[in-house]
Chains A and B, each alone.
Chain A
Amino acid sequence: MAENSSNEKISKPKMLLKLFLSTLYISAFTFGGGFVIITLMKKKFVDELHWIDEDEMLDLTALAQSSPGAVAVNASILIGKRICGFPGMITAVIGTVLPPIITLSVISFFYAEFASNRYVALALKGMQAGVAAVIFDVVCDMGLKILKNKKFTDYFILAAAFTATFFFNVNVIFIILAAAVIGTAGAFINRRREKRK
């Protein structure tokens, strides 16, 4: 695979440093929930560095989402482990938690002024618009790829999952479990069909 050969070109300490700086950078600028950080990780590790392919990134997202704990931390554990084993996992986690630890430590000393500052609020509002744009950009990339597969079940899962989470606030875990059940059923139906042939 192309991505493995490119991995071997850089030495391990260099890769760990790159991993640390990438997760640090992504975490420092990620406002909002776990999905925001995942879209940025996808841009960095899939599109830019080519360390992980897109399908695997989606699998890791599903794993990160259905495990306990913060999605951003879970995703960095999975990506770090995938890229550099156990040292990679520790490196990525430290890179991810360091920015919030530092920011919150500083803010805890003057939090009342920070929370009520009008200019801070305005800048954050503008950044929300940017975050939304980044997420839609990634959704377009991934969504178009799924639509190109032209599989009816994929269309159905996409539409049903979106309706369930956006309009009915169904717990994410149930949505992932339901999709897993559809996938399992699909596997058994396919196997039966093949046996009949």
Chain B
Amino acid sequence: MIYLKLFLSFLQVGLFSIGGGYAAMPLIQYQVVDKNGWLSMGEFSDLITIAEMTPGPIAVNSATFVGIRIAGIAGALTATFGCIFPSLIIVSILAFIYYKYKGLSVLQSVLSSLRPAVVALIASAGLSILQLVVFGDEKISADAVNWLGALLFLTAFLVLRKFKPNPVIVMLSCGVLYLLITAVIDYAVKI
């Protein structure tokens, strides 16, 4: 039965991908391309591009995309549920342990040393995205700099620090501005 197969395949993706995002990619490829042949390798790489370009976790995006192509909306829902089911169980248990033993001095000490590590991880994720904006997929060099992207980043950062606006509006404005400015420059070059 196709629904059960979809559920079990994405259950494994959800269960074995630790660290999120890119860690899930090879697992999805194994289930979707190699084992079940639901997508060709070309379709799979399209899927990854789309998953990166649209909101939401890659695993959930893939589950929806594959599910809907194999078995319609019901397939999309089944696959997505399979993908988040392990999280629901395991994270609930961890949350229970966290709130029960939070007061213990050992756990306090462990948690307080996790905090700087988490900040470092977030900083690194941000820097990777910035690198992608400024240098694209090229190696880091002065020729490859995307000045418009860099300028937009700097402006957005300063506006955020100074005026504390809604972050979603900042993100959307950056998208619109980038599109408009590039279009205007293209047009100017043509004339």
Contacts and interface: CB of A to CB of B under 8 A. Distances in A.
Given A68-B86, A70-B60, A101-B60, A62 B68 contact: no
Contact of B76 (A31, A105, A120, A143): A105
B55 A129 contact: no
B157 A133 contact: yes
A87 interface: no
B160 A101 contact: no
Interface string B100-115: 0010011011111111
Given A128-B133, A133-B160, A179-B116, A69 B14 contact: yes
Interface string A87-120: 0010001000101110111011001101100011
Given A104-B68, A133-B157, A38 B92 contact: no
Contacts of A104: 50-51, 54, 56, 61, 64-65, 68, 76
B159 to A, nearest CB: 8
29 contacts: A29-B172, A31-B53, A34-B21, A36-B125, A58-B114, A59-B102, A65-B121, A69-B83, A81-B95, A89-B92, A93-B84, A99-B55, A104-B56, A104-B61, A114-B53, A122-B179, A123-B176, A124-B175, A125-B149, A130-B172, A130-B175, A132-B153, A154-B115, A172-B121, A173-B19, A176-B118, A180-B114, A183-B114, A188-B106
A122 B92 contact: no
Interface string B1-29: 00000000000001111111110100000
Interface in B132-169: 132-133, 149-150, 152-154, 156-157, 159-161, 167-168
A133 B123 contact: no
Given A119-B179, A180-B113, A34 B57 contact: yes
B41 interface: no
A114 B64 CA distance: 17
A187 to B, nearest CB: 4
A58 B115 contact: yes
Contact of B161 (A59, A140, A158): A140
- Chain A interface mostly helix, strand, loop or mixed? helix
B86 A69 contact: yes
Given A68-B86, A166-B124, 15 more contacts: A32-B52, A69-B20, A69-B83, A70-B59, A70-B60, A73-B87, A100-B56, A103-B61, A104-B61, A105-B68, A125-B149, A133-B153, A135-B123, A171-B19, A176-B118
B140 to A, nearest CB: 13
A49 interface: no
Given A62-B117, A100-B54, A134 B171 contact: yes
B19 A65 contact: yes
Interface of B: 14-22, 24, 46-47, 49-61, 64-65, 68-69, 73, 76-77, 80, 83-84, 86-88, 90-92, 94-95, 98, 102, 105-106, 108-130, 132-133, 149-150, 152-154, 156-157, 159-161, 167-168, 170-179, 182-183
A7 interface: no
B54 A103 contact: yes
Contact of A126 (B69, B108, B157, B178): B178
B118 A62 contact: yes
